[in-house]
Structure 1
Amino acid sequence: MARRRALIMIEGHRGSGLLFIQAARRLGLSPITLSADPAQYDYVAAESVEAIRVDTNNLDALIHECSRLRATCDIVGITGFTSLDESVYGTVSKLCRHFDLPGPNPESIERCCDKFVQRQLLAEAGVPMPAYRLAADATEVESAAAKIGLPVIIKPAVGSGSNGVRLCRTVAELAEHATYLLGGKEVSPSSPRILVEEFARGPQYCATIMGNEVIGISACDFASPPHFVYREWTYPALLTDDEHARIADVSMRSLRALGLGWWPTNIEVRWTERGPAVIEVNPRLGGAPAPQLIELAYGVDLVTEHIKLVIGSEWELRKKHSHVATARFLIPDRDGIFDWIDGDSQAAAVPGIAEVKFHLEPKALIVRKGDYRDCIGYVIAASPSRAGTEVALQRAVNLIAWSIIPFPTLAKSDSAASYLWPD
C-alpha cells in the first residue's frame, strides 16, 4: 500500500487556512496541522484535519513531531502561517532545511521579520523609505520623534497585522502609545524594541510577488487614523504604466537587498511626493482575502501554486484574464456584544459578488485593538470592469446590517461584573 504524501502546516490562519487545506487535498496531499492550539482554527474540526498539539516556538519539538510522522507517511513539504507572529516563517524555513525539503533561506526570513534590521538592509541598498530610528524606552522614543519630526508612526520592531502600529501627531499621543507598548502588551518588556518612523503621506499600494515575479499591485485604503485598519483592497490598482513600473522596480530592489525571492512576498509601498517609498516587506503570502482577489483578478491560484513550490513541483503563474476585484472590510464602530447580522445572504446573491464572509458568530465579544483583528468580515466583488465591480460592491454592502450591544457598566447594571472581557 502506498504511503500517504503529507503536507505539514505549522499553525494556521482564520482566513487562508481553509484555502490551503482544500488546495492540498486537490493536489492529493494529506494536510497535517501542527499548532500550540489547533482548536483556535475552526476549519481543523470542520474539515477533519489531522492536528497535533505542539509548542510551535520550540524547533526541537517540531523536529521530533515531524520525525515521528515520517514513520507513517512521506512528508513532501512544510509550510505555515499565522496572523500575529511572523517568526513562524523562520521556523518553517529551518524545518525545511533540517529535512532537506524545498524552502527559503532561514537567515533571510529572520532578517526580514525584524523590522529594524529590514530597514537597515534596505537603507544600505538605497531603497527609498521613510526615515526611522530604534528606541528602547520612552525617552528614546521621544528623542527619535523629535529628530524625525511629528507626526510619526511608532510600532513594535517585530510583529504583523498592524499590531501595535499607531500614528502619533502630538507629544501626548506619543507618550501614551509608547507607555502602552512598553507595558509589555505588544513588545517584550525584557528587551523592548520600538521603531519610530516618519509618516509617509500618500496612497498605499501592495505588490504581490511569487518568486521574482510581480503578480499584481493592489490599492489599499485605510479606515480612520490613528490606527491602520484596512478598509478596502483592489486588484489591480489604478496606476499609470510608469507608476506600476516604479513600484515593481522598488519591490524587486527590496527582494535583492533582503535576500528574498524564493517564495511569496508582499511589499507595502506609499506613493509620496518623491515617488514610491517602501513601508514594509513581508516574507509571506498576503493574508485573506488577498489570494481570493488575485484569483478573481488574474486567474492565478496563489495558494495552490505556493503548495506546488514547497513540494518541489513546477508552478504556473500565467495570468488567465484581467478583471477588477475589490474586498471591502467590515469594521465595527464600537466595542460590545455582536448581537445579530442581517442581509448577508441577500448581499451574497448580488450579481458580481464573489464572497460575503463574517468571522464572528452572534453573541461574540468585540473589543477593538486597532489592527487586523478589528475586521469582523468582508465582501468581495469582481467583474471585467472597475465600474461594474464598484456598483456590485456598494449594492451588497448597503444590504448588510449588524447590531452591537454596548458593554454594560456597573453604574447601569450590577450584573456587569459577571462578564469576562478580554484584556
Structure 2
Amino acid sequence: MPRDASLLVTYDYGSLPPVRLAQAAERNGCALVFVTAGSDHAREMTPALEMLGSVVDAAGLEASGIADRVKRFEPEGIVTFSEGRIAPTARLAHLLDLPYHRVEDVGAITKKDLQRERLRDRGVDSVRFCEVARVADVGDALARVGLPAIVKPTTGAASRHTVSVATEAECAEAVTRILADDRARTSSARTTAVVEELLVGRPVEHPWGDYLAVDCLATGDEVRPVFVTSKFALAEPYRERGGYGQASTVPAAELDAARDLACRAVHALGIRTGIADVELKLTADGPRVIEVNGRLGGWVDDLSVRSGSADPADIAVRAALGLPVEPPAVSSGDRLAFHYLVLPPMSAHRVRDVRPGLYALRDRPGVDRVSLSTHRGAVADWRAGTDGTVASVLGTADTHDQLADLVAEIEGADWIDYD
C-alpha cells in the first residue's frame, strides 16, 4: 500500500473516536478524508478532524456530488462508524466502485423489520414482527406478534424509545412516542416503529446481563468473530449499562454458539467487507438475534484494546483498504476491561443536584476514568436510551467478583439527585 493511499470516512457521531482511527491509518500508511454531512456534532468536530486528515463538507449534496468532490483523493477504501451514515456510505461506495455494503442490502442492514425478514428467509433466526406506521395499526400488529412484545424505532441506535409492552394500550402509547420523535430518524424517511416478539433471557446473577454482542469481520464470504462484549444488567426498561470483556461469565459452549450465530447473521445480511456488530439474547433455548449493526459496536475498540484482546480500529482500516486481516484468537486477552454507564431512573425528569461523590472512585484500584456527562438542571429522560447517560466509569479488573463489587459501589455512590 503506497504511503499516499487515502481512506474515506463518512463521519458523524459513532463508535470509534477519530484519534483512534487516525492512529490506525498512520500505521497502515494511509491518509484520512472525512466526509461530513452538516450535523451539529460534525460541525463541532470539524476543527479536530482537520488536524487528523482532510475534510469534505458534503452538506446538501447528493451522492454524485460528493463523489465528484472526493475523486481527487483517489480513495482506496471507505468506511463509517456511524449508524446514520451507513446508507450514504453505501451509495458513495457504489459510485466510486469501492468495497462496502451493497446498496441493495442496506435496507436489511439498517431497518429492523427488513432485517428480521432477511434473517428469517435465510434460516438464521425467526422472530415474529410487524412494522407500524400508524397508531391505528397497533391492534393488527399485536394480532400477528402477540403479547408481551418489544416496541422500538425501525431505524436508529442507542436503545432510544425501546420498551416492552404487556397490553394494547401500552403498545399504542409506545408507538405514539416513536412516531412523534423526529430524533429517532437516521434519514429523511418517515419514522415508523417495529413491534416484535419479546425474547426472554435465561436467568443470570446480578450485575450481569442476559445478552451480549459479538463483533465480526467479514472478508468476502468468510465471516469470523473479532470480540465478544459481555453486558451488564439492563437499566429499565431496555437501556444498556455498557459492557466488559474479553473474559465472560457466559459458559464457553454458549459463547461458541453465540459466535457461530453472529457470523451467520452477518453473512445472511450480505455484509462482505469490514466489521459488523451483532447483539444476541441468551435464552433458555440458546442465543437469539436481537439485532445486527452494520458497523463497529459501541465501546468495542476501547474494551478490546484495554483487555489486550484485539485492535478493532486497525482491523477496520485494513479491511476497508483491502489489506490482509487476521482476527485475534478467540481466547486472546489477559485482562478484564469494563465500560460502565450510569443512567437515570425512569422516574427522573431533571437533574436537581450533582455532587463530587462519584469522583471518589478515581482513587479506587482498577478505575481508570470517571466521566460526568450531565449537570444541574439537565433533562433526564429514559426515552433517550444510552444517549441519556449521566456518567461513565472505565477500568480493569482481575476477576468477575472484583468487577461485581465495583459495579455495586458505582450504583451505590451518593452523588446525584433527580426531580
Q: TM-score, normalized by length of structure 1?
A: 0.81
| SS of corresponding position for 1:210 | strand
Q: CA deviation at 1:81?
A: 2.7
**1:143-185 deviations in whole A, cap 9, x for unaligned?**
2224432221112222222233221122221121222223353
In 2, are the aligned partners of 1:130 and 1:279 still within 8 Å (CA)?
no
Alpha-carbon distance between aligned partners in 2 of 1:400 and 1:129, rounded to the nearest angstrom: 42
Q: Give the residue type in structure 2 aligned to 1:365.
A: A
5+ residue gaps, structure 2: 202-209
CA distance in structure 2 between the partners assigned to 1:140 and 1:252 by the alignment: 34
Say whether the 8 Å CA contact 1:329–1:378 is kept in structure 2.
yes
Give the superposition deviation at 1:120. Answer: 1.1
Q: 1:92 deviation in Å?
A: 1.6
Partner of 2:194: 195
- Separation in 1, partners of 2:32, 2:131: 40
Cα deviation per residue 1:310-368 (whole Å; 9 max; x = unaligned)? 122233433453332222102134333586462566534433234433445x4683342
Among candidates 326, 342, 345, match of residue 356 of structure 2: 342
Contact 1:338-1:404 at 8 Å conserved across structures: yes
Q: Is the 8 A contact 1:354 1:382 kept in 2?
A: yes
Query: 1:416: which partner in 2?
Result: none
SS of the residue 1:66 aligns to = helix
Q: Is 1:58 matched up with 2:58?
A: no
Tell me if 1:380 matches 2:394. Answer: yes
Q: Give the match for residue 47 of structure 2.
A: 45
Residue aligning to 1:417? none
Give the equivalent residue in structure 2 for 1:303: 313
Query: Counterparts of 1:204 and 1:298 in 2: how far apart (Å)?
Result: 23
CA contact (8 A) 1:9 1:31 kept: yes
**For residue 351 of structure 1, what is the amino acid of its counterpart?**
P
Q: What SS is found at the alignment partner of 1:65?
A: helix
The number of residues matched between the two structures is 394
Residues 56-84 of structure 1 deviation map (CA, whole Å, 9 limit, x = unaligned): 773123213213xx1xx44333222325x
Alignment-mate amino acid for residue 382 of structure 1: T
Alpha carbons of structure 1 residues 246 and 398: separation in structure 2 relative to 1, 3 Å? closer
Residues 132, 194 of structure 2: 8 Å contact kept: yes
* Equivalent position of 2:338 in the other structure: 326
**Distance in 1 (alpha carbons) for counterparts of 2:339 and 2:251:** 22
Superposed CA RMSD: 3.1
- Structure 1 stretches lacking a partner, 5+ long: 407-423
Q: How high is the sequence identity, in percent, across the aligned residues?
A: 21
8 Å CA contact 2:113, 2:194 repeated in 1: yes
Aligned-pair CA distance for 1:27: 4.0
* CA–CA distance in structure 2, aligned partners of residues 30 and 325 of structure 1: 30
Q: C-alpha distance in 1, partners of 2:23/2:234?
A: 32
- In structure 1, the partner of 2:283 is 272
Task: Return the letter of the residue paired with 2:148.
Answer: P
Q: Does 1:207 align with 2:214?
A: yes
C-alpha contact 1:204 1:270 (8 A) present in aligned 2: yes
Structure 1 contact 8–77 (Cα < 8 Å) conserved = yes
Q: Which residue of the other structure, out of 135, 139, 154, is the alignment partner of 1:138?
A: 135
Q: Distance in 2 between matches of 1:353 and 1:392?
A: 9
In the aligned structure 2, how far is the partner of 1:117 from the partner of 1:399?
Answer: 41
Q: State the 1:54 CA deviation.
A: 2.1
Question: Higher mean Cα deviation, 206-215 or 163-172?
Answer: 163-172
8 Å contact from structure 1 (residues 342, 400) kept in 2:
no
- Do the aligned partners of residues 398 and 306 (structure 1) sit closer, same or farther apart at CA in structure 2, a change above 3 Å counting? same
Q: How far apart are the structure 2 equivalents of 1:120 and 1:133?
A: 10
CA distance 1:129–1:232, change in 2 (3 Å) = farther
Residue 9 of structure 1 aligns with which residue? 9
Please state if 1:253 is matched with 2:256.
no
Match of 1:168 among 140, 165, 188: 165
On the 8 A contact 1:152/1:196 being kept in 2, the answer is yes
**Following TM superposition, by how much is the alpha carbon of 1:275 offset from its aligned partner in structure 2, in angstroms?**
2.0
| Structure 2 residue corresponding to 1:225, chosen from 203, 228, 236 | 236
Q: Secondary structure at the match of 1:127?
A: coil
User: How many angstroms does 1:267 deviate by?
Assistant: 1.0
From 147, 156, 159, the counterpart of 2:156: 159
Partners of 1:209 and 1:180 lie apart in 2 by 33
Q: Offset of 1:387 from its aligned partner?
A: 3.0
Q: From the superposition, tell whether residues 276 and 32 of structure 1 become closer, same or farther in structure 2 (CA, over 3 Å).
A: same
* Structure 2 residue aligned with 1:413: none
Q: CA deviation at 1:402?
A: 4.2
CA shift digits 1:166-216 (9 cap, x unpaired)? 211222211212222233534699855432111111021211212211123
State whether residues 379 and 393 of structure 1, in contact with CA within 8 Å, keep that contact through their aligned partners in structure 2: no
